[in-house]
Structure 1
């Protein structure tokens, strides 16, 4: 892991100065912060890949039965690419200069069975506005089964969380799709206007209906086997769940990031807060960057969420240089294995008795 050590005080204008440096760099290179054509190409590739693999799943399932399980990993991979490379940029307004196209891209989450409206509340606002702040960043919620933040209550079972957490990660997406969205709607967890609430209900109903039809009903009818459809469904979403959880966990939970116990404790210059609570990892791995939608460049994403992920590699040297110049730490794990080890140590450390 490499890092630029923190200075005592980078100044209240750190974020403003960093923005000026990054946007000046992009202007010098004649690059639009929004890489619309590049992201559109990725969207076409990813959706073509998904529909091709989905058709192959139905065909193989109908003709060769359980051999269709060989397509679990490829289809999960295709959906992962759609969620991280299309939906994620769209939800941040970084897919296109058009608000309508950004909204359309963000609805890729409904294609996966989730609610784009609730995602914007949970991720774009709660997580990005209060990164790693307990009680505000909802990504720490685990029902007490896993201790991810020092301010969370500790239980005896947590001593083994570095061993069992990986299995719990498998159920995240299924719980999110079938329980969390519905619970959040009926408990009105994220207050929205009456008009948006009607839209939200329609969105949830249609997204869940599509999800059930595409992953369970249609495969069962085409292949003639409910057992195959259910096993395929569970395996697919367990794999996808682990991948999605790890992208978040490795960026924010490796025991080197700060963990504010309140918004007051975490309140400082916007960019400084993001640098203190986020790390980059495996930034030289171009294949990984393509798959996860540039989210191995989490520092750049958190400071510049409205810049397309295909620009992160280009602006990273500017961010690192600016941090070094102002004595601000910049954490970066060199490989996927090293950051995965960091998350393992985080789980193990927080699980031990104080």
Structure 2
């Protein structure tokens, strides 16, 4: 039922001929309503509180590491540190979207310090990649999130692979969670490569210095406080848990939703809603996913503060239902089941999980 629903609406977009003319005012009307209700106002008190709590937790982890000393219980601190870094990443994400402050400069520097200084990842690299994703979610050749080297999102990618890459692709659905343990390391490699490339601008060079100081000081402190074996175990577990937490948060947002052919034109509201998935679950899911469980609302209003997303959700859902736009929401476990099945459909059977003759006609 789930995949057929997705295919039906994507097919209708193609069949409508020129959706831009018919639906051009849909998003404008919704945005006007949201703006008039004051739902785009910044929430500085909320964010200052969260930043303070996260900084306290960050410091608390290192106090714990120092107190524990030479003990395998340090692995508990490694897991805790990964969870704290995940929350830092969520705040950096919000700041990169300029949700925290009115000043663009304040937002950019906050994102830079949080990502580069506390995590060791380049916010400039991430922002460039993430902005392209927001502009064309799940669109082939445009969305960098479906152009990932290890995972194949289309049958064409799957069939073109050989050797070890083919072996991985054939099992990519079942390997989904194990592969997430490498996501943290992948983020570090990509961001370091970006800020230290030739042609980096001044802001990126400053960020590169932050990243270098953070990574080197982290490793120096870790190997100073712990013997090599425990230090490597701490580092490996922290990276693995961090990767699972981040990857397990971002994957449900779009993976397994309809893929858009490279040349298809879709109006803004449908482009963001039809390719996004919300995750229900209440306060705990809100915390664990950093508000990204309201992915539809986030894509429609990227600069909307995180706590306001749940307020605007019923408005967006009712609006979509009234205008016949498919609004997808499911449990976290349900989304993982869809993701695994989607990846296996591509990898194991090398067929398009969103088969539709009208859509196929627009490919290539």
Smaller-chain TM-score range?
0.7 to 0.9
Whether 2:79 is the aligned partner of 1:73: answer yes
Distance 2:78 2:202 in 1: 35
Distance 1:152 1:251 in 2: 21
Distance 1:212 1:291 in 2: 28
Whether 2:127 is the aligned partner of 1:120: answer yes
Q: List runs of 5+ in structure 2 lacking aligned partners.
A: 352-364
Superposition TM-score, scaled by structure 2 size:
0.84
Q: List runs of 5+ in structure 1 lacking aligned partners.
A: 189-193
The 1:302–1:44 alpha-carbon spacing in structure 2 relative to 1, beyond 3 Å, is same
Superposition TM-score, scaled by structure 1 size:
0.86
- 4+ aligned runs moved over 3 Å, structure 1: 1-10, 182-188
Distance 1:140 1:58 in 2: 41
Distance 2:223 2:196 in 1: 31
Distance 2:205 2:178 in 1: 31
- In the other structure, the counterpart of 1:318 is 315
User: Residue 172 of structure 2 is aligned with which of 148, 161, 186?
Assistant: 161
- In the other structure, the counterpart of 1:191 is none
Whether 2:29 is the aligned partner of 1:17: answer yes
Which secondary structure state, in structure 1, belongs to the residue aligned with residue 72 of structure 2?
helix
CA contact (8 A) 2:253 2:278 kept: yes
- In the other structure, the counterpart of 2:108 is 103
The 1:12–1:151 alpha-carbon spacing in structure 2 relative to 1, beyond 3 Å, is farther
Distance 1:302 1:150 in 2: 27
Distance 1:87 1:65 in 2: 32
Distance 1:14 1:91 in 2: 27
Task: Answer with 324-333 or 241-250: which moved more.
Answer: 241-250
Q: Name the count of aligned residue pairs.
A: 330
CA contact (8 A) 1:114 1:207 kept: yes
CA contact (8 A) 1:300 1:319 kept: yes
Root-mean-square deviation over aligned CA pairs: 2.3
The 1:44–1:187 alpha-carbon spacing in structure 2 relative to 1, beyond 3 Å, is closer
- For each residue in 1:103-134, what CA deviation from the matched residue of structure 2 results, as whole angstroms up to 9, or x when unmatched? 233121112111111121111x2111121122
TM-superposed deviation, 1:166? 2.2
Which secondary structure state, in structure 2, belongs to the residue aligned with residue 65 of structure 1?
coil
CA contact (8 A) 2:181 2:241 kept: yes
Distance 2:224 2:102 in 1: 41
TM-superposed deviation, 1:135? 2.2
- For each residue in 1:214-250, what CA deviation from the matched residue of structure 2 results, as whole angstroms up to 9, or x when unmatched? 2x21021123x12222211111111111121122211
- In the other structure, the counterpart of 2:186 is 175
- In the other structure, the counterpart of 1:217 is 220
How is 1:194-209 mapped onto 2 (pairs within 5 angstroms)? 197-209=201-213
Distance 1:150 1:326 in 2: 33
- In the other structure, the counterpart of 1:349 is 345
Which secondary structure state, in structure 1, belongs to the residue aligned with residue 71 of structure 2?
helix
